[in-house]
Amino acid sequence: MPMTMGYWDIHGLAHAIYLLLEYTYSSYKEKKYRMGDAPDYDRSQWLNEKFRLGLDFPNLQKRRRFGKTFWRTSLYTTA
């Protein structure tokens, strides 16, 4: 079963992730969410689906490694 790569329908912002998926020959399907026009930037398409995905924390990245689940809570790490 392929994973789903969902992101906003914005040119180029998720391109690095798509390159990585292709490079690793990962099976995935693409889901793009439409954002409304300025100044309101309607996000209802994403917000209507966000909490129905069955994710514990839909705003955090979830990784499964070695039978354990890890939540990524920070984009950057400090040394």
C-alpha 43/C-alpha 8 separation (Å) is 9
pLDDT for residue 62: 64
Q: Of 11, 8, 12, whose CA–CA distance to 50 is shortest?
A: 8
**pTM value?**
0.57
| Omega before 39 within 30 of 0, i.e. cis | yes
Give the 3-state secondary structure of residue 75.
coil
CATH topology of domain 3-51: Glutaredoxin (3.40.30)
Q: Where are the domains of the chain?
A: 3-51
pLDDT for residue 23: 94
Neighbours of 6 (CB within 10 A): 15
- 56 residue type, one letter: D
C-alpha 55/C-alpha 8 separation (Å) is 18
pLDDT digits (tens, 9 = 90+) for 23-71: 999 999 988 888 888 888 888 888 888 888 777 777 666 667 777 776 6
pLDDT for residue 13: 79
pLDDT for residue 79: 44
pLDDT for residue 9: 82
